[in-house]
Every structure is written in C-alpha cells, then in structure tokens.
Structure 1
Amino acid sequence: MPLFPPIEPYHREHLNVGDGHSLYVEQSGNPRGEPVVALHGGPGGGSSPLLRRLFDPQRYRIVVFDQRGAGRSKPYATTHANTLPHLVADIERIREHLRVPRWALVLGGSWGVTLALSYALAYPAAVGALVLRGVFLCRQQDQDWLYTEHGAARFRPDGWQRLLDALPEGEGTLLQRYQRALDGAGPDSERLAREWTFWEASLSTLVPPPHINVDHNAGAMASLEIHYFLNGGFLDRPLLPRCPAIECPVEIVHGRYDMVCPPEQAWLLHQALPHSRLNWVDAAGHSSAEPAISDALVQAVQRLGDY
C-alpha cells in the first residue's frame, strides 16, 4: 500500500518535560481519531513528515515528536538529563498531557524500536499494539557493528576510511575519540559531525544515492548517538530477554539488506515476542524512506488496525 498523501499538523507545541527540556510535539489527522504515536530513530535523528503519511488521516490522531536534544526540541544536541529512562518517561508525559487513555499503536523505527519496546515494558497498559521497523536491540554487538572495523566497515570500506580520515589522531576507541573531538567545539566539530552522520546515511539504503545529503540535524545525531553508545543505551538490563513479557500484537518490518541493523535482530525479536509477525522486505535496506519499506509499514498499520 502506498503512503497516504502529505498532510500538515493541525496543532504544534513545545511541551516542557522538566530538566530544562522542551519537546516539539505535533498532531495531525483526525483530532477525534484513534491515537497513535510515532518514535523517530536516532537518538538525535529528529522526526520526519513521512511519519504522518504512514497512517490513515481520517482514522487516526497522529502524534509525532522530536526526542530530547533532537530536531526542533530545545535545547539542541544536549546530553544533559538525556537517557533512555528520560525518553520513556517523556512518551508517557505526552500521553498524559494529550489526555490519551491508551495509544492504539506505537510505531518505532531503528532506535525508535529500542524506545518503543522499552516503553511497552514500562507501561504495558498504555500500548495497544506495536509497529517496529529496522530492529535495533542495542546490544553491544549491535553497536559494534556500526562503529568498529569488524562490522559494516567490511562492506563499505571506502566509507569507513572516510570516517577515520576525518578524525584527529588520539588514544581510545573511535567513539571516544569522536566524543572528545566534538566536545572540543573546535573549528572542525561541524565537519566531524557531518562525517559521522554521512557514514550512517551511506549505509541506510539498499542502493546509496549518488549524492547523500546530511541534514541540519547532524550535530545532534553525532553527539547524542555517541553519548548513548558510550553508555550502552542506558539500558539497566538487556532488552531482548524481557520482550516475552510484551503481550500486545506486534508487526515487525525489516529489510533483508539492512546494513545499519542486521536482520538477525529482527529474527531474534520475532522469536521472543509471543504475538508478533515478521515482514521481510526483500529488496530494501534500513531507511523508511525506501518505497518498499514505507509500503510495508502502511500495510502493517492497516493489519493491526483491522485486528
């Protein structure tokens, strides 16, 4: 099923969630429809207008927001009071603020999968169903796949070399060296942030476009992703062993050639979730912007809506 036509929000606001953070929150679709919330990837990635188009605007009240430090939320790119428990609590604050009894659907992509699963475990009564795209379980091996020479670097050695070439010499891991360079706020910090984001963007589609545009959110994407990865995603316990406790219906959409989140993660999650359906997308990678992925997401939402 194709994406729904573009729509604009009928309401936008900045919601104060404490700790000095104010989240950009928007609502679109049907104000009296079934409430759904979409969680963007990242952390630090920011939301996209495409998220609105995954849901029938006549049926759903579509809530989209930018996580702490990302997109249009304030302050920008800050690691202060920015952990997974903070983000989970923010989803619940938004639900209470909007007076939503329960989310009919929670949709999450990539890091948004980690966040959606964590939220469903913390607030099971608030989640009717889950739609998950590009499963990221945030295990150490999942993080190492992206930022050590033993993972995606073996498939994109030219892009990996570009990432290394941008970084000043120093001691420590790639993550530690990038964090020091970005924290220094020197003249090269913006370029380093863009190179960091370029690396992940270059892995995100089955066929990388000839010109990859790195958006204005590169600073948040780099600083927050490094912050989370250096702290193990701020998970107090591994996520996967806890997932059998999630009893709501779950649709999983995953590209067969996902280079950001290798497909093993989707398979393991499907095995762990008692009421899940795994939808492989054969000719696709990671990004929800790939037509095959977005079409599969629209179908997944439709199936759960008919459940």
Structure 2
Amino acid sequence: MTTLFPLAEAFRTHWLPVDGGHRLFVAEYGRPDGVPVVVLHGGPGSGGSPRLAGLFDPARFRVIVPDQRGAGRSEPAGATLANTTAELLGDIDLICAVLGVGRCFVAGGSWGATLGILHAAQRPAQVRGLLLRNPFLARAEDLAWFFGGARQRHPEAWQRWAALGAPEAEGAMLPWLADVFARLDARQAGPWVQAWQRWECALAGVPAGTLGDAEVAALFRRYRLQLHYFTQCCFVPPDAVLDAADQLVAARLPMRVVQGLADDVCPPAATRLLAARLPAGACRWVEGVGHDPFAPAMVAASMAAWAELSGE
C-alpha cells in the first residue's frame, strides 16, 4: 500500500494516572485482540494522533497511541515537573502493564524514535521489532544544528529569529531562547512562537500555516516543554541513543529505519551514523521528503519497511 489505512475511531481510550500529578491519555485503534504496536509520538510534546495508527492494518493490529507527559490530551498540558526521559520510559512500561500488552512492536518518528530505541534497549525481551522514522539521536550536535546551525540553509526563516535578537554564535541560541521563554507568558509569546513554527516548518520541508490564538497557546506550551528537554540534553548521556542501538543489534532485535533525505530537523547525516551500526538493508532512504510522516513517498516507504518487519 502507498496510502494510510482509513481513519477510524479509537475502540478504547484510557486516562492513566502516573507520578508527579500527571494523567496520560492513551488511545487504542484497530483490533482489540490484534498484534500490539505501541506508537510513540515526536516532540518532545507534540502529542499523538489517529493518523499515526494509519500505517497499520486495523484488521491485524492493536495500535496503542499514548500522549506523553505534558503532551496532547495528557494533563496537565505542557507540565515540566516530573517530566524526564526516564519517566517517559517508565510510562511505556506502565502502559504495557496496565493494558496487558506482552511482546509488542514499537514504532516512532523523530523523538518517538529516540524513545523507541531507548525503551527497546531496556526491555529487549518485550519488543518484537522497531519501526523508526527520521530518528533523533539527541546529541549536542543535533541540538546545535536545529538551534541556529541550519541558518545558512534557511536564511529567510532565520530572519524571523534575527529580528527578535537571536544570537548567531555557536551554541548561544538555545540558552537565549530558554531564557526568553522562561520570561514570556502566552499573551506575549506570539512573535517567538511564530518564528519558531516558521523555522521548524522550513527545516521540515512542510508549509507553515497561519496561527490563531489557540494554536499559539498550544505551541507555546509545546515549545516550553521542548526547551525543558533540550536544555538538559534530553536527560540522556552523550551518544546514549547510538549506544542503545548497538545493544539492540547485539540482541538481534529486528529494526527498520526510514529517513527522508530532505529533512533538516533530523538530517540524514545523523541517521547514516545509526545506519552504519545496523545490519545492511535496515534503512530506506526517501528522496525529496523532509520530516513529514504523511508525505506520500514517506508513507509508501514506511509501509514497505513495516511489511518487512512484521511479515505482512
């Protein structure tokens, strides 16, 4: 197939209380007795979507899409207290335990791929295989690229940041932005949110839409949550994701990676470092596609990779 399966209502939803005062929203799609697939959204803080379940045949699979702490419909929205990578990984374990999920496939794109790799390295016996799209390696150089390093490739989008006083010195933009967002409230955030959204869309290779007040408020919460993670190097040691991938290879855990060659959010150069550690043929490279998981060529490549992984 080269198109997503039709959108459908969740057959079951859950509100799961976890520590730190959080409640996680979890939706299940497809077949209640199907082969389980846990789908991890990006961000941090982007939230799940029914469209993320569309890669998986609803007649065969039970697709579980949780909203991570502070993201999507989980509550409190945008909360950073008790919100670290270790806690997100613990939440995956809890979700699987409460929902009675045994061995499952795990799928994720961008930050979701980060979590998928780290989770599988912690629980290899519980994972059947990994489907990863445009993985984020969560290294200092990945953050430096996104926060200013890509400005020569996207000068028009950078001008919005420059007009707000963004520094160009290497490594300076992220702390500057964290300081700005710590002092802003949602009523003042419009120019910075719009600049960030335009920048992100330029790097992702997708159109930037017009933002209303509700969209600005939602993105403000999301970006503050991202800054909480990014200023702490995502709460993981350097090269933690690559080291975890080495563990998965040693454990012979099946993996497929799909990477858009036009992506400047999670560039192919980083994915090539991951691919070098994986068995030959584990990666598919998609011409002319950036960070958009729903671009037709990305959907086709993801479905082909999924068919290999799941034996469809």
Global fold match (TM > 0.5)? yes
Q: Give the partner amino acid of 2:300.
A: D
- Report the TM-score when normalising by structure 2: 0.90
Q: Which runs of 5+ in 2 are unaligned?
A: none
Once the two structures are overlaid, the 10-residue window that deviates more, 61-70 or 191-200, is: 191-200
Any conservation in 2 of the 1:241–1:272 contact (CA below 8 Å)? no
Residues 159-170 of structure 1: pairs in structure 2 closer than 5 A: 159-166=157-164
* Number of the residue aligned with 1:199: 199
Any conservation in 2 of the 1:244–1:274 contact (CA below 8 Å)? no
Give deviations 1:59-117, integer Å, cap 9, x for gaps.
Answer: 000000111111111111111111111111111110001011111x1001001111111
Q: Give the partner amino acid of 2:307.
A: Q
* Number of the residue aligned with 2:92: 91
Partners in 1 of 2:204 and 2:283 — Cα distance? 20
Distance change in 2, residues 1:107/1:213 (3 Å): farther
* Number of the residue aligned with 2:237: 236
- Report the TM-score when normalising by structure 1: 0.91
Residues 110-121 of structure 1: pairs in structure 2 closer than 5 A: 110-121=110-121
* Number of the residue aligned with 2:254: 249
Residues 56-67 of structure 1: pairs in structure 2 closer than 5 A: 56-67=57-68
Superposed structure 1 runs of 4+ greater than 4 Å apart? 213-216
Partners in 2 of 1:70 and 1:46 — Cα distance? 5
- Report sequence identity in percent: 38
* Number of the residue aligned with 2:288: 283
Residues 1-307 of structure 1: pairs in structure 2 closer than 5 A: 1=1, 2-103=3-104, 105-148=105-148, 151-166=149-164, 173-186=172-185, 187-205=187-205, 208-209=206-207, 211-213=208-210, 215=215, 217-239=218-240, 240-246=242-248, 247-274=252-279, 277-306=282-311
**1:228, distance to aligned residue in structure 2 (A):** 1.1
**1:167, distance to aligned residue in structure 2 (A):** 5.2
Partners in 1 of 2:134 and 2:43 — Cα distance? 12
Partners in 2 of 1:289 and 1:223 — Cα distance? 25
**1:161, distance to aligned residue in structure 2 (A):** 1.6
Distance change in 2, residues 1:69/1:267 (3 Å): same
Instruction: Describe the SS at the equivalent of 2:276.
Output: helix
Partners in 1 of 2:128 and 2:166 — Cα distance? 48
Partners in 2 of 1:56 and 1:29 — Cα distance? 7
Instruction: Describe the SS at the equivalent of 2:282.
Output: strand
Partners in 1 of 2:119 and 2:53 — Cα distance? 21
Partners in 1 of 2:298 and 2:102 — Cα distance? 30
Any conservation in 1 of the 2:37–2:63 contact (CA below 8 Å)? yes
**1:276, distance to aligned residue in structure 2 (A):** 6.2
Once the two structures are overlaid, the 10-residue window that deviates more, 261-270 or 84-93, is: 261-270
Instruction: Describe the SS at the equivalent of 2:227.
Output: helix
Aligned Cα root-mean-square deviation (Å): 2.0
Distance change in 2, residues 1:39/1:276 (3 Å): farther
Instruction: Describe the SS at the equivalent of 1:243.
Output: helix
Partners in 1 of 2:201 and 2:160 — Cα distance? 13
Any conservation in 2 of the 1:194–1:218 contact (CA below 8 Å)? no
Once the two structures are overlaid, the 10-residue window that deviates more, 159-168 or 277-286, is: 159-168
Distance change in 2, residues 1:157/1:185 (3 Å): same
Any conservation in 1 of the 2:130–2:256 contact (CA below 8 Å)? yes
Once the two structures are overlaid, the 10-residue window that deviates more, 54-63 or 225-234, is: 225-234
**1:297, distance to aligned residue in structure 2 (A):** 1.2
Once the two structures are overlaid, the 10-residue window that deviates more, 12-21 or 192-201, is: 192-201
Any conservation in 1 of the 2:26–2:64 contact (CA below 8 Å)? yes
